Amino acid sequence: MEIIKAIFATRWTARLAAIAVMAGAGLPAGAAAPDFGPNVLVFDPATPSATIAAKLDAIAGEAEFGSGRHAVLFKPGTYTVDAQVGYYTSVAGLGRHPGDVVVNGGLRVEGRIDWSAGTDSALINFWRSVENLSIVPTGGTTRWAVSQASPMRRVHIRGGVELMPAWWGYSSGGFIANSRIDGQVQSGSQQQWYTRDSAIGSWAGSVWNMVFSGVAGAPAQTYPAPPVTTLETTPRSRDRPFLYIDGDGEYHVFKPDVRQRASGPSWGLDAATQAEAGVSIPLSRFLIARPATPTADINRALADGRHVLFTPGVYQLDDTLAVQRPDTVLLGLGMATLVPAPGKAAIVTGDHAGIAIGALIVDAAPGGSPVLMRIGAPRGTGPRPDVPVSKGAQRNPALLSDVFFRIGGAIAGTAEVSLEVNSDNVIIDHLWAWRADHGAGAQWSVNRADTGLVVNGDHVTGLGLFVEHYQKRQLVWNGNHGQTIFYQSELPYDPPAQAEWMDGAVNGYASYHVGAGVKRHSAIGLGVYSFFNAGQPIIETSAIRVPDTAGVTIEHAVAVFLSGSGGISHVVNEQGAAADASSYISYLNRYTGSRAAGRHPVD
């Protein structure tokens, strides 16, 4: 990731399919195109390839903490483009199916070359995405050398993909979902990676923590040598809503249904298998927001039962956005970024089924916030009845997908908690909560933040959780029947002394902390890393802390000493060897508590 790591539907009809392949035909005129504002580029097959490449290359040159935000959308058809995808850029096809948009060439992310240092690094290739299209790579292989907050979704790569820089420079892990890759995926220098509900030709490479769930063609489970975790299915998942154009040229947002025990992508390769379960919402039911849209107007639309599409930009909110109706969709384009008013949250919701929030960045403001996003009403701290989730609720969980939080980096903000989930029956599908280790305000006394994720609700599923550098516990899980598949966490780099990083009488704060009252919890594929850079012997006693009870299981966990001083004494509770300067890595295949009995599989 950061610099220090360089040391280590509705149905899609045959009519649209026929229209899409007509040379230069595009779509029927239909209604007038929505006004998405200046930061959304919509191309059709008649657009010259040089024009598209020039636009993408210009965007790719923007800065890591710049204010630019961009969505690049391709109408159904065939294109020849070979260009880079830069910061704060989402590239997406506007078909109902990934095969409706075909890009010959590549939509690439390359490593960042520093000639003076002789490095080709992807450690800070953050905040970009590609989705809902097909790529036919020049030469048979394309490159997607990224780290956090750079998802690949609903993509068909008709060839192979390399996830590391061309010179095999360092790269820090990422996320692929609901995709097909016909050839080989070469992870190379990627230190960790999570792939779910996909199909691949083959996979080569592993470093510390490679996790697959519901992936046809995934490598066999060999943890810890090499450290590959493979689950045949994903117990439950729900894909993020996406924008598309129907056969009449009308814009819609498709909201997929939940999948149980998913294996492979939700979409097929021919007309008979392309249909996906979900609901199509006309864009007319959305408020199309721009950064200048008053917060009161957005809240008024939400109160009236409308959804919100955030066009690219930075939104300076003067109040909290309140979601108080079930099935509401809040969807960002181009890494749209919300900055809350001082002392307030950016978004709060009620305890409602079917809410979907996706493709947004939330930046903490300089005035600070107790919490940046709260899902559901706050809950008491006392014991609660252990009630199974109903079948009806299982069919319509709330969803947080590609939601990213920053404490510092772009602005010197503060927040106690980034995301608090109080509702039951929620899926968190790809989260990066990041207290900045570089950029604006990246100092122990400036970008203050306690915890990245707090889960108080029951029956919450986490798929691909990245939580890093917070000053106390990175994640706190108090709800019952919680489930995590893949967790990646760097501890804070900058505690100035051990006395300033103590959990009561215990040295350091556990990164992944399951509350003492939890009776059922399962997690698999966890990695916790240390680099204490103050020159002091900072120690974390346990990377992961859980109750000693039979219903709580941790499988395939690793602690890694990246560099610096001090280290991690144990992996889970008092089990697992130290990860420090004398032995930089420590694997624990499965945590077994003194009262544990038998195996409790993650699914």
Catalytically active residues, by annotation: 490
Question: Long-range pairs for 342-346 at CB < 8 Å and ≥24 separation?
Answer: 342/366, 342/367, 342/368, 342/369, 343/367, 343/368, 343/369, 343/370, 344/317, 344/319, 344/320, 344/369, 345/320, 345/369, 345/370, 345/371, 345/372, 345/373, 345/374, 346/317, 346/320, 346/321, 346/372, 346/373
**CA dihedral of residues 503, 172, 486, 216 (deg, nearest 10):** -170
Q: Which of 431, 428, 469, 478 is nearest to 450 (CA)?
A: 469
Q: Is the peptide bond before 224 cis (omega within 30 degrees of 0)?
A: yes
Beta partners for residue 570, in sequence order: 542
Residues 408, 446 contacting (CB under 8 angstroms): yes
Distances (CA, A) of 367 to 371, 450, 518: 12, 15, 34
Residues 6+ apart with CB under 8 A from 80: 49, 103, 104, 105
Closest CA to 71 of 38, 103, 104, 31: 38
Q: Which of 363, 442, 494 is nearest to 66 (CA)?
A: 363
The token pair at 384 is: 């609660």
Rounding to the nearest 10 degrees, give the CA dihedral for residues 315, 321, 325, 330: 20
CA–CA distance, 558 with 83 (Å, rounded to integer): 37
Provide the 8-state DSSP code for 448.
-
Cα 415–Cα 527–Cα 469 angle in degrees, nearest 5: 25
Residues 6+ apart with CB under 8 A from 71: 36, 39, 40, 41, 89, 90, 91, 92, 311, 312, 333, 334
Q: Tell me the three state secondary structure of residue 588.
A: strand
Distance of CA 144 to the CA centre of its chain: 15
End-to-end CA distance of the chain: 30
310 close to 293: Cβ distance less than 8 angstroms: no
Pairing status of strand 234-238 against strand 258-262: antiparallel
